[in-house]
Amino acid sequence: CPPPKHLSVHNLYGGWWGEGDDMFMIDGEKWPPDLHGTGSEDYFSQAWGSQPHNAFLYNGVSYCSGAHRGFNERITMYRFHILDPIIFHKSIRVSIEHGHANDRCDDYSSVAYWYQDLPHKPFPPFSKVEDRLPRPDATVYPMDLPIPPKRKASGSPIDPALLKSRG
C-alpha cells in the first residue's frame, strides 16, 4: 500500500486552497487514473474544509494557524492507508493538484514515508538541510483580487495571471 502522507499548505494569496484532485497512477497506468479523487481536503478526510482540532488515528489536521481572508493560512494534514490500502506491484505515482485545476500559487510541502524491508543498493545521500527547508521568503499578502466572470463559473477563485511575483 502507499506510504503515509503529510501535506502542508501555506496559503499565500487567500481564498480556498483546496479542491486539488488527488490521483493515483498504479503500475504504469496512464491518464486518466482509475483512482481520481475530488479534492485535496477530501483525500485527507476533511470534506467541507479542513478544521483545526480535527485529528484522528488515521487522518486529520495536525496544525492549523487560523483564518487568512476566511481560509486557513497554514495547515498540515496527514493520512495513513492502514484500513484502505492501495495495492501496487511495480510503481505508484501519487499527485494532488494545487487548487482546482492547478491554478494556485501557494507553497505546498509534502512527505511520503517509504518502508524498505528488502535488500537494496545504498540510497543516495540526502541534500543539506538548508536545501530542504521551505521558502523563508514566503509572505502572505492580504489583498482582494477581482474574479472574472468566466472564473466564477469554473469555480476557480482568481485569475492566475493576477498572481505575479512580489520579489
pLDDT at 11 over 90: no
For residues 54 and 77, is the Cβ–Cβ distance under 8 A? no
91: closest CA among 48, 136, 28?
Answer: 28
107: closest CA among 69, 131, 138, 130?
Answer: 138
What is the C-alpha radius of gyration for the chain, rounded to an integer number of angstroms?
Answer: 17
Question: pTM score, two decimals?
Answer: 0.68
Going along the chain from its start, the domains and CATH numbers come out as 5-140 (2.60.120.1390)
Confidence bin at 22 (pLDDT 50/70/90): very high
Q: Which three three-digit cell numbers place residue 127?
A: 541534500
Cα 112 to chain centroid distance, Å, stands at: 12
111 CB neighbour count, 10 Å cutoff? 12
Residue range 42-66, pLDDT digits in tens: 998 887 777 767 888 889 888 888 7
Count of positions (residues) in the chain: 167
Residue range 61-115, pLDDT digits in tens: 888 887 666 677 888 899 988 888 888 889 989 989 998 888 898 888 888 777 6
